[in-house]
Amino acid sequence: MSNSNHPILELRVALTTADYERLVKFYCDGLGIEPAAIWNNDGGKALILDMGKATLELFDERQADVIDQLEAGRRVSGQIRFALQVPDLNVAMERLLAHGATLVHEPIQTPWGDTNVRLQDPDGMQITLFQAAENSENGE
């Protein structure tokens, strides 16, 4: 499928951190992915991680509150929160926890049938891992 008629070809989110190596280890080892590109410019470091298909969700404050209440029991996320679809929520959650994630709330089943868990990366970025209903273990 050609993207030549689509006005946006790729979404990239750039995180800036005071502890680059810690976040590289968290996202690469924690998600089990290798960098797609590495840059070192004028003493600075950066890398790109291929995170699959990208979408941008825009929420008003009320919708953010609804999702936070569902996933975390209270309003906790900031202006930006990652939502990553994974094939096996429990495996992905345990791997991220082993690499420095903080569990914000235990996994929950959403009203639409997905299984979600809220985590936080070592710099405080809120992350929702979700396993779509069609990929859940019990086939719901």
Residue 9 has pLDDT above 70, yes or no: yes
Structure tokens at 126: 């809120």
Cβ burial 17-35 (10 Å sphere, 16+ → b, else e): eeeeeebbebbeebbeeee
Q: Are strands 102-109 and 115-120 parallel, antiparallel or unpaired?
A: antiparallel
Structure tokens at 124: 């405080």
Q: Tell the residue number behind the tokens 């005071």, with chain if given.
A: 18
Structure tokens at 25: 């280890």
pTM of the model: 0.88
Task: State the angle between helix axes of 20-31 and 89-98 in degrees (0 to 180), rounded to the nearest 10.
Answer: 150
Answer yes or no: are the C-beta atoms of 131 and 87 closer than 8 Å: yes
Residue pLDDT, tens place only, 55-93: 999 999 999 999 999 999 999 999 999 999 999 999 999
Enumerate domains of the chain plus CATH numbers. 20-135 (3.10.180.10)
Looking at residue 140, what is its pLDDT? 32
Residue pLDDT, tens place only, 99-129: 999 999 999 999 999 999 999 999 999 999 9
Determine the number of helices (DSSP H) and then strands (DSSP E) in the chain.
3, 6
Question: Cβ neighbours of residue 88 under 8 Å, at least 6 residues apart?
Answer: 131, 135
Residue pLDDT, tens place only, 32-47: 999 999 999 999 999 9
